[in-house]
Chain A
Amino acid sequence: MGRGAYNYSRTYLHLTIPSVGYMAATGAVNLMLSKTLGFACELERIDVLTIAGGTGGSGNRVLNVRRGTASGTVVGTITLAYATMQTIGTVNAGIVGEGGVAIGAPPSFTDTDTMTIGFAGSGTAFTGCVVELVLTLRDKNQLAA
């Protein structure tokens, strides 16, 4: 990967997703609602790390990252499925792109945009599972607000 003075630095936004209320539920629920970022950036990666293995035989939950509110544009998505969520330490990668579809350039946020992370209102509850959501953001040097 090339280096350059005008290139990006990266930061992680990571959130622990508990079982109760999230993984062990099926309804739409927000993990983070309308957080103002305060700096312009792009969503580069979505990863989910299993920190307590799932035990629900058919657990399946879809997590969306949106630009804006809970009804904003999906810019990243990941499906959490029992088949790949049973072993501690497993990392599952999601898809980054406008509309939840992979594109060439990562979706961008302005410094005044908000970000919402939430589970879709469908799927099958896990009996038990705790994960760490890790979003990789990249930003270029910019002035303070």
Chain B
Amino acid sequence: MPRLAPFGYSRHILTLGVPFTGVLNTTNQVTFMLSKTVPFACELERVEIVTTVVGTGAGATRTLNVRNGTASGTIAGTATATLSNQGTLGVVTAGTVTTAAGANKFGSGDTMTVEFITAGATVFSAGGFELLLTFRDKNQAAV
């Protein structure tokens, strides 16, 4: 259990609603959030998707990457929505976070990009979810 520590971390959750149209109904590469400036140093701790519209579509699969930087930046985290994990409202599907080489660490002023990739993609015929990104950061001065 994380112990309380005055120089420890606080957490913040960034939620993004992922719609069906334009994202899940295509196999195209979709840049969902491009180069958002992160104005404070933080680390990506958790990537999760929460089903809000039941997914349908044979073999449906969409994978998203959270990148440190632009659309070509280092992958900090990833999650995959599939027909099987999007079949029930409210289900939380955990993704993975890349800690190697500090890929999940953002410096103050770094940018963050979320994209859906083409590789392995198969369209949904219905679906929708919320993307939850949990970050941890330490107390720091204002920019």
Closest approach, in angstroms, between the C-beta of A67 and any C-beta of chain B? 15
Q: Are A144 and B9 in contact (CB under 8 A)?
A: yes
Closest approach, in angstroms, between the C-beta of A23 and any C-beta of chain B? 12
In the assembled complex, the Cα of A29 lies from the Cα of B17 at a distance in Å of 19
Contacts of A13 in B (CB 8 A): 13, 15, 132
Given A14-B15, A35-B92, A38-B134: A20 and B1 within 8 A (CB)?
A: no
**In the complex, B45 has a CB within 8 A of chain A:** yes
Q: Are B136 and A32 in contact (CB under 8 A)?
A: no
Closest approach, in angstroms, between the C-beta of B22 and any C-beta of chain A? 16
Q: Are A38 and B46 in contact (CB under 8 A)?
A: yes
* Interface of B (DSSP majority class): strand
Given A38-B134, A39-B2, A40-B1: A12 and B17 within 8 A (CB)?
A: no
Q: Are B12 and A145 in contact (CB under 8 A)?
A: no
Counting chain B residues whose Cβ lies within 8 A of the other chain, the interface size class is 35 or more
Q: Are A31 and B89 in contact (CB under 8 A)?
A: yes
Seen from chain A, the residues whose Cβ lies within 8 Å of a Cβ on chain B are 5-6, 9, 11-18, 20-22, 29-36, 38-41, 110-112, 116-118, 137, 139-145
Closest approach, in angstroms, between the C-beta of A102 and any C-beta of chain B? 24
**In the complex, B77 has a CB within 8 A of chain A:** no
If A18-B52, A31-B52, A118-B90 are given as contacts, then 9 extra A-B residue pairs at C-beta distance below 8 Å, sorted by A number, are: A6-B6, A22-B52, A38-B46, A39-B134, A40-B1, A40-B2, A141-B7, A141-B138, A142-B9
Q: Are B136 and A144 in contact (CB under 8 A)?
A: yes
**In the complex, B142 has a CB within 8 A of chain A:** no
In the assembled complex, the Cα of A12 lies from the Cα of B13 at a distance in Å of 6
In the assembled complex, the Cα of A139 lies from the Cα of B50 at a distance in Å of 22
* Interface of A (DSSP majority class): strand
Residues 91-105 of chain B: 1 if any A CB is under 8 Å from the residue's CB, otherwise 0? 110100000000000
B11 contact from A5, A11, A17, A33, Cβ within 8 A: A11
Q: Are A143 and B9 in contact (CB under 8 A)?
A: yes
**In the complex, B84 has a CB within 8 A of chain A:** no
Given A13-B13, A13-B15: A141 and B8 within 8 A (CB)?
A: yes
10 tightest A-B CB contacts, nearest first: A30-B90, A9-B10, A141-B8, A142-B2, A33-B90, A11-B12, A143-B2, A142-B8, A39-B11, A35-B92
**In the complex, B69 has a CB within 8 A of chain A:** no
